[in-house]
Amino acid sequence: MLASPQLRAFNDIRIRFVSGAGRDAAAASGIDVTARLRCDQRGSFVEFVGHFSERDEAPAPFQEQFYLQRCQIFRIGPSTQLWIVNTVEDEANEAVYPRTFTAEFKSEESSDTFFDAIHSPNKGFFLSFETEVITEDDVSVAAMKLPNGSTEVAKDSSKFDKKIEASSAKMYFHYYGQLLHQQNMLQDYVRTGTYYAAVVENRADFQGRVVVDVGAGSGILSLFAAQAGAKHVYAVEASSMADYARKLIAGNHVLSQRITVIHGKVEDVELPEKADVLISEPMGTLLVNERMLESYIIARDRFLVPGGKMFPGLGRIHMAPFSDEYLFVEIANKALFWQQQSYYGVDLTPLHNAAFQGYFSQPVVDAFDPRLLVAPPAMHSLDLTSMKEEDLYDIVIPLTFTATMAARVHGIACWFDVLFNGSTIPRWLTTAPGAPTTHWYQLRLVLSQPLYVMAGQTITTRLHLSAHSAQSYTINLSMSTTSWGAGAGQGATIQSSSGKFDLKEPYYRMSQMPAYTWTQEQQLQDGAGVSLQGAQMSPYGA
């Protein structure tokens, strides 16, 4: 008989059981353990030793050993592993049942060392990653090594890290790691209600299916998918909100047995199986701000089975010229400060032109009256089921409008909608002016030099969006009008105007149309205007 020497011990590991019964269910909140790498005549195994408490009872000892030839181990985060173990229940007939748990290490280095140790051939540790069908809560789950790469998280810079500034990513994930900002999005009842309806009204797309929630945030969409009967949901979240998502999901015990929260980026993590459905809320201001659509498409290419469903699967940007003299004057007046010739004895006028252009370089985010539009809107579609990630790096949208009235055109108004193309009931989520207001509002690009148009005159427009490393876009807008009417010549350009905007730095305009017409008496009682919840407006527009 072989001796069973202790090869190595790893401390400060917390394991959480995802599936199983009895003590596994009692220990779902987590057990702090030490892992010992050992071997005997049956092979190499990992022994976990620790204590756990069940409700108000005294801590009980915990000791389990798992033979590596019966384990499938996946890296699902920098310091987190997913273990799927076929445990022998009956030595006589070798009957097995699955147990699934996550192992959370104190550091990425500790996780790497442990993972390398159990894969090291010179120590006799061999793992089987053959595809096999196991059972989780009486539901068949295919557990396999993904064909799109190693089960390890790449140790070099990920695709996300290579294209996004570290400082921008840090601020971004810090923002979405806070509950108050998640609450702002959850309280957008148009957004949350539409997602809920899209899922529960299309149960046929979720029932018995594997779902991946991309950028899960609080985990609300994962819970919706579980409510609709999903076999298992993998909630992938890169920010520290993953910890809150675990708590929220654990508090909904009936659903929690079918949801696994994975802390990491979709560009980096590996999953033990492919997904039948992707669900996500990747939309930012103007649909593309934050560049999360790219991560959504990467998740599609890495995890979605051919022909799988995407919620949403189509996005559309709508654009139309508008006329808003009040907005134009409001922006222009901001630069009046720099026209002072003796500000504490200092002449500020040398900076006036730069300040004037600076204010006009900010996209305006607010809700506006659709009657301000001077032409029917045009549309640019993004098919999220088939487009390439690189298609989002540089977006050129040529547009032609025909004015329906004589007006001074101040720029282009934009909004978006997305389609949840469910098998039973397709659902649209829109941010259009005149529709119920969402936390995305609408967006307007205001030119510092307006154009004058007459009814029937053509307005030629070009919108060019260039992605940058601060998770947003630089927008170049050009608009021009041509001669028109009888004897107007060959349609030569008679006016043109252009502007450059940074989608990362919008102007959140704290005013909104009232929901109904107020009487003069109501205005005197309640104030002259209706304010948006300005403190709740996201700087990221998601």
Span 150-163, pLDDT tens digits: 233 444 457 888 89
Average pLDDT over every residue of 494-513: 87
Distance CA(414)–CA(506), nearest Å, equals 13
Give the per-residue pLDDT at 256: 93
Distance CA(32)–CA(493), nearest Å, equals 73
* Best CA proximity match to 266, nearest among 102, 467, 76, 541: 76
Average pLDDT over every residue of 248-269: 94
Give the per-residue pLDDT at 536: 44
Q: What angle do CA 124, 126, 128 make, to 5 degrees?
A: 165
Give the per-residue pLDDT at 27: 53
Catalytic residue among 136, 270, 273, 281: 281
Alpha carbon distances (Å) from 254 to 18, 81, 137, 260: 12, 24, 11, 13
Give the per-residue pLDDT at 188: 96
Average pLDDT over every residue of 221-247: 96
Q: Is the dihedral of CA 416, 316, 264, 193 positive or negative?
A: positive
Distance CA(64)–CA(439), nearest Å, equals 49
pLDDT in tens, 31-89: 888 888 877 767 788 888 887 765 556 677 888 888 887 888 888 878 888 888 876 54
Average pLDDT over every residue of 460-465: 97
Q: DSSP class of residue 373? A: B
Query: 518 versus 474: which is more confidently predicted?
Result: 474
**Would you say residue 365 has pLDDT above 90?**
yes
Q: Are strands 275-280 and 304-311 parallel, antiparallel or unpaired?
A: parallel
**Would you say residue 317 has pLDDT above 60?**
yes
Exposure class string for 68-83: b at 16+ Cβ within 10 A, else e: bebbbbbbbbbbbbbb
Architecture of domain 166-281 in this structure:
3-Layer(aba) Sandwich (3.40)
Distance CA(530)–CA(39), nearest Å, equals 71
Give the per-residue pLDDT at 495: 92
Give the per-residue pLDDT at 525: 38
Distance CA(266)–CA(154), nearest Å, equals 12
Token pair belonging to 429: 């989520």
Give the per-residue pLDDT at 416: 98
Token pair belonging to 241: 């909100």
Q: Where are the domains of the chain?
A: 11-119, 166-281, 316-485+492-508
Give the per-residue pLDDT at 137: 35
Annotated active-site residue 270? The verdict is: no
Give the per-residue pLDDT at 38: 78
Q: If you average pLDDT over each of 15-24, 280-289, 478-487, 529-538, which comes out highest? A: 280-289
Beta strands in 91-138 (DSSP E): 95-105, 132-136
Q: Are strands 210-214 and 275-280 parallel, antiparallel or unpaired?
A: parallel
Average pLDDT over every residue of 322-342: 97
Distance CA(535)–CA(540), nearest Å, equals 13
Give the per-residue pLDDT at 143: 33
Beta strands in 106-177 (DSSP E): 132-136, 139-143
Distance CA(107)–CA(367), nearest Å, equals 46
Distance CA(218)–CA(246), nearest Å, equals 8
Give the per-residue pLDDT at 65: 83
Q: Is the dihedral of CA 430, 436, 439, 440 positive or negative?
A: positive
Percentage of the chain with pLDDT > 70? 78
pLDDT in tens, 90-134: 444 444 456 788 889 888 888 888 887 777 644 433 333 332 222
Distance CA(364)–CA(474), nearest Å, equals 14
The fold of the 11-119 domain, in CATH, is PH-domain like (2.30.29)
Give the per-residue pLDDT at 20: 52
Q: Are strands 60-67 and 43-52 parallel, antiparallel or unpaired?
A: antiparallel
Give the per-residue pLDDT at 196: 97
Distance CA(141)–CA(399), nearest Å, equals 48
How high is the mean pLDDT of the chain? 83
Give the per-residue pLDDT at 56: 54
**Would you say residue 379 has pLDDT above 50?**
yes
CATH number of 316-485+492-508: 2.70.160.11
Give the residue carrying structure tokens 């305009």.
Answer: 509
Token pair belonging to 443: 């967006």
Percentage of the chain with pLDDT > 90? 61
Annotated active-site residue 521? The verdict is: no
Catalytic residue among 237, 270, 290, 294: 290
Instruction: Please name the amino acid found at residue 428.
Output: W
**Would you say residue 235 has pLDDT above 90?**
yes
Q: What angle do CA 219, 274, 384 make, to 5 degrees?
A: 70
Give the residue carrying structure tokens 């107020």.
Answer: 518
Average the pLDDT over each of 254-263, 317-326, 505-514 and give the range with the smallest value.
505-514
pLDDT in tens, 168-198: 999 999 999 999 999 999 999 999 999 999 9
Q: DSSP class of residue 349? A: G
Query: What is the SS3 assignment for 99?
Result: strand
Band of pLDDT at residue 8, cut at 50, 70 and 90 = low
Whole-model pTM: value is: 0.72
Looking at the chain, how many residues does it have?
Answer: 542
